[in-house]
Amino acid sequence: IQCTPQSPKCLVCPLAETCEALRTGRVEELPVKNKTQKVKTRHLSYIYIRCKGEVAIHRRGEGDIWQGLWEPYNASDAPQLPAFVHNPLLLAKDVKHVLTHRILLADFYLQETETRPLLPDDYIWVKEDEIEQYGVPRLIEIMLEMVQAKS
């Protein structure tokens, strides 16, 4: 409120004695306004693979949203659902989840199977009733609630 680039109110500012901009004569330059990031929309597709009381999950890697958190099978980058997915139950389409600079639209599927499909090496199988012990993003919590409602 006080420290605006166009018309700063340095004479009535309670921080004037310690102000770097005032002391160095850079009142017109400081504070530097952060550039706002453009909000992007991202589409995600998750498949909750259930096999004999266990589910497949993996930990998200570095350099993307939700680093280190766990998620079910992520088919977001695949042009089509993987071959092991046969008639999955669509739990929800375009579930909206808003982050600071992303709008996520997620599709949730449930795949029941009697044999474990071949998944990438970073996926693990955990007991379904123990999945709450793994840290998951809020969006995945929503998916888990939908899965539980269908069970």
In this structure, the answer to whether residues 10 and 59 fall within a common structural domain is no
- Residue 46 CB coordination number (10 Å): 22
Query: Using one digit for the tens of pLDDT, what is the confidence trace for 91-137?
Result: 999 999 999 889 999 999 999 999 999 998 999 999 999 999 999 99
Are 19 and 44 in the same domain?
no
What is the model's pLDDT at position 1? Answer: 63
Give the Å distances, CA to CA, from 138 to 15, 70, 141, 144, 150. Answer: 40, 11, 5, 10, 19
Is the domain of 20 the same as that of 45? Answer: no
pLDDT attached to residue 35: 74
Rounded to the nearest 10°, the torsion over CA 139, 130, 123, 73 is -30
Is 8 in the same domain as 70? no
Q: Is the whole-model pTM more than 0.85?
A: no
Q: What range defines the domain where residue 86 resides?
A: 40-150
The mean pLDDT value of the chain amounts to: 89
Residues belonging to the chain: 151
What was the pLDDT predicted at 43?
95
